[in-house]
Structures are given as structure tokens and as C-alpha cells.
């Protein structure tokens, strides 16, 4: 058993066991065999490879922390971070979709669903027979989630849902979505509820697919609700608890995006190291030049620091300790590191780094999403400062 950090002042004791190593190797092998050969093809065509996710489901990577009784793998957050980062090392878009399915839709139902709801939806999500989506953001309410306009009005045994959601991962191909809706006054955190809405429900459709800078193999669309009748038994928890639930889900989701950023950073860094050893200028490898080697030193240091922040947050999550500050720190730092690392990787590749024939331009495009999705870097600073100033 290899110790990364023991008896730190924060009481953080991290070890990597054989199970994590095995899962990491499985994710790495799968990504190299089934993802890497198609990375640029899927990126160029914006193809969302549904069948690939079903393969990942068969290996238990679409249900990392779902208990075995619901068909999941029953692992913890260390294993989860390992899976996401290893897949993102090869393709950030696939890593993003795996993260969104695990931590948002599936994670929300697991955390707040009753037993009947868990039995109904988790087994299908665990195997990726069903792909999951999660809806909070709207066109005019990004960071200001409490100002949402999508409403759900109780009518007998059904909620009548009207409105739309934007930037929804798997909005078109998803089979089920957890959607935050307004059941009370706008701006009231207790006026928001969470509903599970299945594909095929009358009045539930998807809108346009976004044409994105990066993460192009991860599907992003609108969700549209037009007098959509949702059975009231699809309410997660109690009416008015949706905002509080969503914030708790995002605490875990921020670890997901941090792990995603870590994988992208590692992929870009490894490509830069390999190229710097191969590329010759002035009669020697460019890795021999201080200007290049110092870039690599900075990249390596920041990646290791990001990984330790992520693992600290994962450790707290595993122990069911408060994780708001640590997950925000991990997400903020790792996502900014991913952008810096990918930028420097392009610089090391020079002109070749600016072309699609070499891998780093895609890492460069994919990395930026990590500073925006599931709370911008600016929102993370607000979360961190509030925690620090308590």
C-alpha cells in the first residue's frame, strides 16, 4: 500500500490500495482501446457514442458509488476520481459524460430518492441501460439558480411543468432527467423542488444541440417542458427541498469536474513531455532547454498539488464529512491548472500544437469548460470565501 500523504495537519490520510490500482488500470486500458482511436473523429462530428457508455456500464464505471443492491459497483470517491481522471486523460468529453451521469442524475436519486424510487431508476442507470441527465441551469439563470423560471404546479396526482433548461449534458439522448423546478416564489430557496422526468413523458422534449468549443463528443442540449405532466410520486424528497438538494449534489459534482480537469491536465502534460524529448532544435532535444524544462516543472508541480486537493475532498466525502470548501477549492484549482497546463503544452508543441494532427489542441479546447461547468471559478471563490469567513 502506497502512502501519498499521511498524518497531515488537516488529518488527511490518503492511501492507494490494490483495488484502486486495479480500477485505474481497467479504466486506462479501456480508454486506450475503445476511446483513443476515435477521439478526433467524435470531436469533429460531435458524435455522442451511446454504445460506448453501455460498455462502460457493463464494467461498472457508470455506477461507481451506487450500492451493489441496486446493480452498482459500490465503491467510494477515490475509485470515482480514478475512473474519471483516467478516462479524461484520453478524452475530456467522454470523461465529462461519465461524470455527469454518475454524480448528477444518478447521484441525486441515490442521495435523496426513497426506496421505491431507487429501485425504479438506479438499476437502469447503474448499467447505463438508461443514460441520465440533470437540469438546473436556464437561459437567464446561470449562477443565479434561485431565479429560475421553470415552474411545476400540482394538479391532483401530477405536477404540470412548464419552462426550459439550458446546457444540459445528455439532454437529447438521456432516458431520464432530474430537474429542478420552481414550486414556490421566485428567489426563495425553499420554493424549488426536484422532479425525476422520464423520456417519452408527454410535453417533455429537447431543444437544439449546442455547437461547442470543446467537449464536443459530450452531448449538450436544451430541455423543454410544455404542460408536461409528471406524477407527483416522482418528487425527490419533500416539496421545497430541491435547491438544498442541488447544492449538496454540486458539492460532489465539483469533485467530478476537478477529477475531469486533473485527467485533462495529465493528458496534456504527458503529451508535452513526450514531444519535448522527441523534438530536436539546435542539435538537441528541446527538453534540454531551461525554458522548456521549467515549464514542465511548473506543470508537474501544479498537477500534483491539484491531485492532493481532489483526494482530500474525496476522503472527506467518503467519510461523510462537510466538503463544501474542499470540493470548491479542488474544482477551482484543478480547473485552472488544466487550462494553464494545456496552454503550456500547446506552447511546447509550437506550431504543431495549433493543429488537429497533434493531441494538445483538443486538451486546450476541452480544459476551458472545467472553469465554467458546475459553478464558474468565480462562483468557487465565493463559496470558498464564505466558508473561510464563517
Question: Residue 202 contacts by C-beta under 8 Å, 6 or more apart in sequence?
Answer: 228, 229
- Residues labelled as active-site residues: 374
Burial of 316 (0-12, 13-18, 19+ CB in 10 A): buried
3-state secondary structure of 57: helix
Exposure class string for 15-38: b at 16+ Cβ within 10 A, else e: eeeeebeebbebbbebbeebbeeb
- 102-114 exposure pattern, b = at least 16 Cβ within 10 A, e = fewer: bbbbbbbbbebbe
The DSSP symbol for 276 reads: H
* Residues 199, 228 contacting (CB under 8 angstroms): no
Identify the bridge partners of residue 225 per DSSP, sorted by sequence position.
163, 204
50: helix, coil or strand?
Answer: helix
Closest CA to 127 of 175, 195, 56, 198: 56
Closest CA to 270 of 291, 293, 296: 296
**203 Rama sector, left if φ>0, alpha if ψ -120 to 50, beta otherwise:** left
Alpha-carbon gap, residue 268 to 276, rounded angstroms: 12
- Please tell me the distance from the alpha carbon of residue 184 to that of residue 181, in angstroms, as a whole number: 9
CB 384 within 8 A of CB 329: yes
DSSP 13-36: -EEE-HHHHHHHHHHHHHIIIIIG
Start-to-end CA span in the chain (Å) = 37
Amino acid at each position: 500500500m502506497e502512502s501519498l500523504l499521511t498524518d497531515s495537519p488537516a488529518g488527511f490520510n490518503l492511501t492507494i490500495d490494490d483495488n484502486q490500482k486495479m480500477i485505474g488500470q481497467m479504466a486506462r486500458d479501456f480508454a486506450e482501446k475503445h476511446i483513443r482511436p476515435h477521439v478526433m473523429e467524435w470531436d469533429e462530428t460531435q458524435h455522442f457514442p451511446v454504445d460506448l457508455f453501455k460498455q462502460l456500464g457493463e464494467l461498472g464505471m457508470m455506477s461507481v458509488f451506487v450500492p451493489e443492491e441496486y446493480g452498482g459497483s459500490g465503491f467510494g470517491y477515490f475509485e470515482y476520481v480514478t475512473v474519471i481522471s483516467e478516462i479524461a486523460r484520453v478524452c475530456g468529453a467522454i470523461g465529462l459524460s461519465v461524470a455527469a451521469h454518475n454524480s448528477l442524475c444518478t447521484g441525486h436519486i441515490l442521495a435523496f430518492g426513497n426506496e421505491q424510487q431507487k429501485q425504479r431508476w438506479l438499476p437502469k442507470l447503474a448499467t447505463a441501460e438508461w443514460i441520465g441527465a440533470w437540469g438546473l441551469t436556464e437561459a437567464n439563470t446561470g449562477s443565479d439558480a434561485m431565479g429560475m423560471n421553470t415552474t411545476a404546479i400540482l394538479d391532483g396526482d401530477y405536477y404540470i411543468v412548464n419552462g426550459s433548461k439550458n446546457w444540459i449534458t445528455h439532454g437529447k439522448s438521456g432516458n431520464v432527467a432530474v430537474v429542478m423546478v420552481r414550486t414556490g416564489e421566485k428567489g426563495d430557496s425553499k420554493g424549488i423542488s426536484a422532479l425525476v422526468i422520464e423520456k417519452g413523458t408527454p410535453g417533455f422534449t429537447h431543444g437544439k444541440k449546442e455547437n461547442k468549443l470543446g467537449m464536443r463528443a459530450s452531448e449538450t442540449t436544451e430541455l423543454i417542458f410544455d404542460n408536461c405532466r409528471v406524477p407527483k410520486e416522482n418528487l425527490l424528497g419533500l416539496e421545497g427541498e430541491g435547491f438544498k438538494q442541488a447544492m449538496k449534489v454540486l458539492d460532489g459534482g465539483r469533485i467530478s469536474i476537478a477529477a475531469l480537469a486533473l485527467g485533462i491536465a495529465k493528458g496534456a502534460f504527458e503529451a508535452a513531455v513526450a514531444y519535448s524529448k522527441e523534438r530536436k532544435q539546435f542539435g538537441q532535444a528541446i527538453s534540454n532547454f531551461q525554458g522548456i524544462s521549467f515549464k514542465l516543472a511548473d506543470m508537474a508541480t501544479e498537477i500534483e498539488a491539484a491531485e492532493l486537493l481532489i483526494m482530500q475532498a474525496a476522503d472527506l466525502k467518503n467519510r461523510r464529512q462537510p466538503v463544501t470548501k474542499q470540493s470548491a477549492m479542488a474544482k477551482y484549482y484543478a480547473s485552472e491548472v488544466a487550462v494553464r497546463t494545456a496552454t503550456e503544452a500547446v506552447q511546447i508543441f509550437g506550431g504543431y500544437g495549433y493543429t488537429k494532427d497533434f493531441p494538445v489542441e483538443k486538451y486546450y479546447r476541452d480544459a476551458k469548460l472545467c472553469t465554467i461547468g458546475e459553478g464558474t471559478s468565480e462562483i468557487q471563490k465565493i463559496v470558498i470565501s464564505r466558508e473561510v469567513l464563517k
